[in-house]
Amino acid sequence: MFARPILTACLCLAAGMVPAETFEIRMLNRGDAGVMVYEPAFVRAAPGDTVRFVPTDSGHNAESIDGMLPEGVEAFRSRFNDPFELTVTEEGLYGVKCTPHYGMGMVALIQVGAPVNLDTAAEVTHRGKAKSRMAELIGMVD
């Protein structure tokens, strides 16, 4: 008799909860987009989701790009050849580079909810192939 109302309340609460997702980005020497790439290079996530960077090939890491993080998010830099998890907590764009292959265009962009820092992120200057690659990724933002 008492179990039914409690069960109903639990189910109602659980129905409103959306579990956080985990996205996987592979760090590759060669991929569909060419050499020295993250795949996928663009991810749409929600606050609370986790992005896991997987060193499929050696010699790579994941480092935040100066000026391409939402306000209040601390810069990050993973160790080389180690998996790295980033739980995204704030809405906005998170720009990511591979430290040694940045100039070769090894960049990624994570959009978390609304792109509140789009103007600031779009003004960041990139070097080498990263310039055109990041422009392409920013063009995917909605």
Write out the two tokens for 1: 């008799």
Indicate the pTM of the whole model: 0.88
How would you classify residue 28: left for phi > 0, otherwise alpha for psi between -120 and 50, otherwise beta? beta
Residue type, 104: M
What is the number of helices (H) and of strands (E) in the chain? 3, 8
Q: For the segment 72-113, what is each residue's pLDDT rounded down to a tens digit?
A: 999 999 999 999 999 999 999 999 999 999 999 999 999 999
* CATH number of the domain located at residue range(s) 20-138 in this protein: 2.60.40.420
Question: Do 124 and 101 form a contact (C-beta atoms < 8 A)?
Answer: no
Between 26 and 12, name the one with better pLDDT.
Answer: 26
3-state secondary structure of 102: helix
Write out the two tokens for 77: 């830099």
126 annotated ligand-binding residue:
no
Range from 5-14, 34-43, 88-97 carrying the lowest mean pLDDT:
5-14
- Beta sheet of 42-45, edge-to-edge order: 42-45, 107-112, 92-97, 63-64
